[in-house]
Amino acid sequence: MNWKLLCGFLPVLVASTAWGQIQADPRDWIQLFNGKNLDGWTPKITGHDLGDNFADTFRVENGVLKVSYDGYQEFDRKFGHLFYRDKFSHYIIAVEYRFVGEQAPGGPSWAVRNSGIMLHCQPPETMTRDQDFPISIEVQLLGGTGSGERPTANLCTPGTHVVMDGKLLEQHCIPSRSKTYHGDQWVRVEVKVLGSDRMEHIVEGQTVLAYEKPQIGGGAVNHFDPAVKRDGMLLEEGYIALQSESHPIEFRKVELLNLVGCMDRKAHNWRPYYVKADNSKCRY
């Protein structure tokens, strides 16, 4: 997806994708992170109740949403997730992130410079106290370690599967085609989500991974409620969460373009980029 900011009194974001061109006024984007506090977000950390922000793991400082571990003596597998209050089905989510500092003591070796955006998540209130990851589709964020290849915006599947090239994939993580980002540079990752149809990962304007039919299934999630894990069920919608996986990470932007809305061209709030109709929102 190649984003361009056009000049003029009404700036427009233009994106060309496999599903066609999207045009959106920047003012249509919802700022999920307001740059001031965690309003609208709720933490869920393994071994703690929903809403318990253990050791101030998730915080806002100087306009940046930070995942920090200065209050931890040991990480002790306290995987955490910060859930946004609303669920979505068809949308584009964008984050700008960077890894900083050193990994928390006791963090697993695979979690160095590792975090994620969890999409189509189960409702946070349905997670058990000791559940480590939500059943979801994870857009894995990785930072380079100074040498070698380590792509970002990979796919991981806690309690889920996807279809790629017509085949059901059961492996837990699938690498993207992105370049490696070393150091503490900011990186923009976007994900286009079309319900249970397709999902596309974009890094700095380049599409690096695409797949279809996200669905519940498989492992890589522990201590879940069996009533929630209905294997084979397509994931049409769900919640969004940012991950705490033992390495400090910062987010300076978390924004969303909803692709569901009024599709009656006669309405004032019709938008050409909507892909799913909710004409109850039409305003004339």
pLDDT at residue 24, as a whole number: 86
d(CA 278, CA 144): 42
Q: What residues contact 53, with CB distance under 8 A and at least 6 apart?
A: 43, 45, 59
Q: Which neighbouring-strand residues pair with 199?
A: 193, 211
Tokens for 204, please give them. 């700095």
For the stretch 47-61, pLDDT in tens is: 999 999 999 999 999
Question: How do the pLDDT tens digits run along the chain, 284 residues long?
Answer: 332 222 222 333 444 344 455 678 889 999 999 999 999 999 999 999 999 999 999 999 999 999 999 999 999 999 999 999 999 999 999 999 999 999 999 999 999 999 999 999 999 999 999 999 999 999 999 999 999 999 999 999 999 999 999 999 999 999 999 999 999 999 999 999 999 999 999 999 999 999 999 999 999 999 999 999 999 999 999 999 999 999 999 999 999 999 999 999 999 999 999 999 999 999 99
Sign of the dihedral through C-alpha 74, 103, 246, 85: positive
Supply the mean pLDDT for the chain. Answer: 92
Tokens for 49, please give them. 């109740």
Rounded to 5°, the CA angle 252-258-260 comes to 170
State the residue for tokens 């909507």.
Answer: 274
Q: Which neighbouring-strand residues pair with 16?
A: 21
Domains and their CATH numbers in the chain: 28-258 (2.60.120.560)
Whole-angstrom distance between the N-terminal and C-terminal Cα of the chain?
Answer: 32
pLDDT at residue 25, as a whole number: 87
Q: How far is residue 77 from each of residues 42, 134, 158, measured CA to CA in Å?
A: 19, 14, 15
Nearest to 75 by CA among 45, 113, 105: 105
d(CA 33, CA 104): 24
d(CA 30, CA 161): 29
Rounded to 5°, the CA angle 224-227-78 comes to 15
Q: Which neighbouring-strand residues pair with 243?
A: 81
pLDDT at residue 6, as a whole number: 27
Rounded to two decimals, the pTM is 0.92
Percent with pLDDT over 90 in the chain: 90
Nearest to 270 by CA among 255, 257, 284, 249: 284
Pairing of the two strands 58-61 and 41-45: unpaired
For the stretch 259-274, pLDDT in tens is: 999 999 999 999 999 9
